[in-house]
Amino acid sequence: MQLRVALRNCGFIDPESIDDAIARDAYAALAKVLVELKPAEAIEILKESGLRGRGGGGFPTGLKWEIASKNEADQKYVVCNADEGDPGAFMDRSILEGDPHTVLEAMAINGYCIGASKGLIYIRAEYPLAIERLKIAIRQAREYGLLGKDIFGSGFDFDIELRYGAGAFVCGEETALIHSMEGERGEPTFKPPFPAESGFLGKPTNVNNVESYANIPVIYLKGADWFHSIGTGKSKGTKVFALAGKINNVGLIEVPMGTTLREVIFEIGGGIIDGKKFKAVQTGGPSGGCLTEKHLDIPIDYDNLIESGSMMGSGGMIVMDEDDCMVSMAKFYLDFTVEESCGKCSPCRIGNKRLYEMLDTITKGKGSLEDLDRLRNLCEVVKDTSLCGLGQTSPNPILSTMDNFHEEYIAHLSDKRCPSGQCKDLMNYVIDPENCVGCTACGRVCPVGAITGEKKEIHSIDTAICIKCGACEEKCKFNAISVK
């Protein structure tokens, strides 16, 4: 069921050995492109393959290259976006650590096609091993003449440098990334102009994601038709997902586009931990949404996921079971967005903060039903008016949970109840009179003296005093204390 394209070499080669990589066809595609093809012909092949950006947006890669190739300039740049910031996603790290040469090779092809002699890899400082392996790979490629002057005697020069991120999620947005590489605060700017026109240091710049690059050498070796034959209507090839959360088999998977969520979660992922009930799967990270039972049989591709209220994103896939509260989940993502919003535009800076506060109120049982309309309204405003992709997608976790788990919001708002028992403020510890033997153990361990009762008589908890620390439940040997 799995098919390795982007991950084809990961685990099969010593990532610190260029000879290993070459034995598995590294740089063969670069040789073919440089010797046999003109830039325009090479771009045409990429367009025919149907490859779309794997960073999340899904923009056709060949078209991106074509636009960058047509802008005239004395210097152009090729940038690899390795600022993998989606929590729960680690496919780019695995590619960089397991097969760094494929990224270098694809960037060189990219440089040849658009007429750029310089490449930059913008990588998170949090990935020290990936940085180390890239440094080794770049050094080896230079020694072998696969980077540098006159590669394969074609007259084409290309070299690659590393640039480091410093922990800012918004830098995954291409204009913010470019500002960060220029030594500035990583704040996005309005597009147009697109980087293809005016990017790094004001020069035409083509930015692609690590996984997109990892697909490119194979396309040139096996042909556009081969790649085009994998996948669905408008989504070709495979996608790497990072499967995590309450699932038995966690880790990276690579499947052809069009595989269903059910196959991914229950066959490859081995189902839910402890035999619990599947509740939702979050795709697309903080920009995506929660999909449910009813979406399990939809073939995964860019367009289907958007239609279902989520998105492909970079490929994080977090599985949740019956114990996870969907309002808390939305709040978790908004907390992330509030923290990571760069603060440049007010809809994102203030709007997301307000959205977070509204969700916080709901999880504390202080919301009212009117909050639902207010919440939805503000979500729409933030989506419509934010400057960059971060704010334009940040309300998605709220909107998708409101659509798919409406009854859970209602339970929090009108019944002041959290059906999953995750919202601490909405739960109470109670003593079951059937099981309580009056041992007084709970009363003695309670830090606030909320438990009363004589020895050998049934105890009770004063919910007004209780701070819900759970110490009594832990202490009780008779299973008499539970959360309601």
From the list 106, 134, 146, 320, which residue makes contact with another protein (rule: CB under 8 A)?
320
Size of the site for another protein (CB under 8 A): 43
User: What sign has the CA pseudo-torsion 166, 167, 173, 176?
Assistant: negative
User: Closer to another protein at the Cβ: 238 or 314?
Assistant: 314
Of residues 422 and 440, the one with the C-beta less far from another protein: 422
* Residue 336 makes contact with another protein by CB under 8 A: yes
Cβ 468 vs Cβ 429: under 8 Å? yes
Out of 318, 388, 471, 481, point to the residue binding another protein (CB under 8 A): 318
As measured in angstroms, the least distance from the Cβ of 426 to another protein is: 16
Q: From residue 54 to residue 93, what is the string marking binding to another protein with x (rule CB under 8 A)?
A: ------------------------------xxxxxxx--x
- Contact flag: residue 163 with another protein (CB under 8 A): yes
Q: Which of 254, 234, 232 shows the shortest CA–CA distance to 243?
A: 254
Sign (positive or negative) of CA dihedral 402, 405, 407, 412 = negative
Site string for another protein, 355-374 (x = CB under 8 A): --------------------
Residue where the block lists tokens 């990224």: 103
- In contact, 292 and 335? CB cutoff 8 Å: no
Any contact of residue 246 with another protein (CB under 8 A)? yes
Decide whether 176 or 255 has the Cβ nearer to another protein. Answer: 176
The region of 3-11, 74-82, 289-297, 328-336 touching another protein under the rule CB under 8 A is 328-336
**Contact status: 127 vs another protein (CB under 8 A):** yes
Q: And the tokens for 240?
A: 């790497």
Q: How far is the CB of 338 from another protein (least distance, A)?
A: 13
Out of 80, 82, 219, 342, the only residue in the binding site for another protein (CB under 8 A) is 342
Stretch that binds another protein, among 158-166, 208-216, 256-264, 410-418 (CB under 8 A): 158-166
Q: Which residue's CB is nearer to another protein, number 69 or number 341? A: 341
Closer by beta carbon to another protein, 100 or else 316: 316
332 binds another protein (CB under 8 A): yes
6 binds another protein (CB under 8 A): no
CA distance linking residue 71 with residue 304, whole number of Å: 33
Sequence-distant (≥ 6) Cβ neighbours of residue 226 within 8 angstroms: 219
Residue 250 near another protein by CB under 8 A: yes
| Contacting another protein within 173-202 (CB under 8 A) | 180-186, 201
Rounded to a whole number of angstroms, the minimum distance from the CB of residue 8 to another protein is: 20
Q: Which amino acid is located at 441 in the chain?
A: A
Q: Which stretch binds another protein (CB under 8 A): 62-70, 220-228, 331-339, 366-374?
A: 331-339
First to last CA, the chain: 43
Shortest reach from residue 164's CB to another protein, in Å: 6
Does the footprint of another protein cover residue 35 (CB under 8 A)? no
For the record, the structure tokens of 229 come out as: 């034959």
Residue 167 engages another protein in binding (rule: CB under 8 A):
yes
* Amino acid at position 319, single letter: V
Question: Which range, of 218-226, 239-247, 257-265, 448-456, touches another protein by CB under 8 A?
Answer: 239-247
Judged by CB under 8 A, which of 285, 313, 315, 351 binds another protein?
Answer: 285
Residue closer to another protein, measured from CB, 169 or 302: 169
* CB of residue 323 to another protein, shortest distance in Å: 9
316 binds another protein (CB under 8 A): yes
- Binding residue for another protein (CB under 8 A) from 7, 207, 244, 311? 244
Could you give the CA distance from residue 373 to residue 292 in angstroms, rounded to a whole number?
A: 23
For another protein, which is the closer residue by CB, 90 or 112?
Answer: 90
Q: Which of 29, 168, 261, 418 binds another protein (CB under 8 A)?
A: 168
**Residues forming the site for another protein (CB under 8 A):** 84-90, 93, 125-127, 163-169, 180-186, 201, 242, 244-246, 250-251, 282, 285, 316, 318, 320, 324, 332-333, 336, 340, 342
